[in-house]
Amino acid sequence: MNQTALPELPAFLQTREKSLFIDGAWRNSQSDGRIETRNPATGEVIATLPDASKEDVDVAVAAARRAFEGEWSRFTPNDRHALIMKVLGVIEKHFEELAIIETVDMGAPLSRTRSFWNYIDRCLRFFATQTANTGGQTLPTSLPGGLMTMTLRAPVGVVGGILPWNGPLIGQLWVLAPALATGCTVVLKPAAEASLSVLRMAELMTEAGVPKGVINVVTGRGSKSGAMLAEHQDVDRIAFTGSTETGRSIIKASATNIKRLQLELGGKSPDIVFADADLDRAIPGAAMAVFANSGQVCYAGTRLFVQSSILPEFEERIANFARTLKLGNGLEPDVALGPLISDKQLASVMGYIDAGREEGARLVAGGTKPGGALEAGAFLNPTVFSSVHNDMRIAREEIFGPVVSIIPFDTEAEALKLANETPYGLGGGVWTQDIGKAMRMVQGIRAGTIWVNNYGAIDPSVGFGGVKASGYGWKGGPQHVDAFLYQKSVYIGGLH
């Protein structure tokens, strides 16, 4: 391959008509509805997906229920540990293929999708260790009669995983890995815009030995197949990642059978740069806190609070940094930023750029669509607004595009007050060389994850989640395993 040749497309991308993956095999939908999925870098249709019907969702949930009660329920923790490690081996063997599928399907550059290997490796190794963390306790009681008391933990059952489009290659593992660790079964409903890495992963995991019915995938529109999964009577838990608005409908739908819920929702995270920060690190760090994945990251640090004394220098340097990022088709070498997921998303982000201008924010970089070879794709130049007020729409609402709003502040107290003036609470960043100041911010910011002198580090063994309108539940960490189990308290009498 010469320097500029694009990587060869995997065979999986060469069959356009995709099927549902149910009970360990490809299965035709019982509906005729199909959805086109496009490569957002070129606008070209790359596949058509079944728009799953109620019957399809019922069949997938029934397969998951059968598997939950069948052979899978007899897997011991060691069996599940060995299986997860086998799955990891198969993913490693096929990883380049998965990275290419993700790039073509949702636009992120190969440099990014290839970097997910490291994360997947840590994620599956962590959840493999957690197979041993599924037990209960023996507890002393003060009851008369010599009862022996203990707790057991059992898998919650069938989990519906509803995924967004901004990173399904990783996002699906937040549901699959804890399910494999605990003995749950899964029906995944990926976003219609980016389902391909999820379909291929289900096939690969089955090849690795995951019993049929443990992983099922139904594709389709959220308002249809997603909603049917959320209200299904035989689904025990919903692990949802997506917008706060959809999260609200999931809460209502889950009332049908009082499902357990995990809601990983939107964000509008503050990133605070103090004048004493190491700007050589803070400027690229704060820029990529927003521009990575073309801004389509839930915890993106989109409200960038900059201490007034360094504002002119900061503004100029971050604008220059934004202009150096190479946009392009993610399959090409050296591309830093791919397109947005769709023309629809691009139009929505452009609407926010217009709103920012109209409300008096100052555009210092980007704000336009690149032309030439990128004309056909959903590309947007990374955009920096300055002189933003916390009450402007661009500072209040989740844009989900490469747009950062610089908001000046003078004092620590003011920064903290502004940072918390948001309905969201997903992430937050602080850049300073003063540890005391950093810790005061860590304690004061109401958000699930705070980064100090870095932004966006996430490890599956630590855990990630939100507060306020960013949702509840936890991805990663032992808490994630707890959430896929329920506790039984056992009282054994007649011992005396």
Binding positions for ligand NAD, rule: CB under 6 A: 162-166, 189-192, 222-223, 226-227, 230, 241-243, 246, 249-250, 264-267, 298, 398, 400, 426, 466, 470
Q: Tokens representing 62? A: 């029934």
Contact between residue 271 and residue 289 where contact means Cβ atoms under 8 Å apart: yes
Q: Closest separation between CB of residue 186 and ligand NAD, Å?
A: 14
**Closer by beta carbon to ligand NAD, 236 or else 315:** 236
DSSP strand pairing (34-38 vs 260-264): unpaired
Catalytic residues: 264
Residue 161's DSSP bridge partners are 188, 239
Residue with tokens 């610089």: 406
Q: Closest separation between CB of residue 245 and ligand NAD, Å?
A: 7
**Closer by beta carbon to ligand NAD, 402 or else 408:** 402
**Closer by beta carbon to ligand NAD, 170 or else 322:** 170
Q: Closest separation between CB of residue 471 and ligand NAD, Å?
A: 6
Amino acid at position 298, single letter: C
222 secondary structure, DSSP code: I
Degrees, nearest 5: CA angle 206-209-210: 60
Q: Which helix (H) or strand (E) holds 90?
A: helix 77-93
**Closer by beta carbon to ligand NAD, 230 or else 388:** 230
Q: Which helix (H) or strand (E) holds 306?
A: strand 303-307
Contact between residue 476 and residue 459 where contact means Cβ atoms under 8 Å apart: yes
Contact between residue 186 and residue 192 where contact means Cβ atoms under 8 Å apart: no
DSSP strand pairing (303-307 vs 403-409): parallel
Contact between residue 187 and residue 161 where contact means Cβ atoms under 8 Å apart: yes
Amino acid at position 228, single letter: M
Query: What is the distance between the alpha carbons of residues 238 and 166, in angstroms, rounded to a whole number?
Result: 19
DSSP strand pairing (485-492 vs 148-155): antiparallel
Listing DSSP states for 322-382 in one string gives HHHSPB--TTSTT--B---S-HHHHHHHHHHHHHHHHTTPEEEE--S---GGGTTTT----
Q: Closest separation between CB of residue 320 and ligand NAD, Å?
A: 28
Query: What is the distance between the alpha carbons of residues 473 and 468, in angstroms, rounded to a whole number?
Result: 12
Measure CA of the first residue to CA of the last residue in the chain; give whole Å. Answer: 77
Q: Closest separation between CB of residue 8 and ligand NAD, Å?
A: 29
Residue 22's DSSP bridge partners are 25
Amino acid at position 395, single letter: A
Question: Cβ of 131: how many Cβ atoms within 10 Å?
Answer: 22
**Closer by beta carbon to ligand NAD, 165 or else 409:** 165
DSSP strand pairing (485-492 vs 424-425): unpaired
Using alpha carbons, list the distances in angstroms from residue 174 to 25, 341, 371. 22, 21, 37
Query: What is the distance between the alpha carbons of residues 317 and 449, in angstroms, rounded to a whole number?
Result: 27
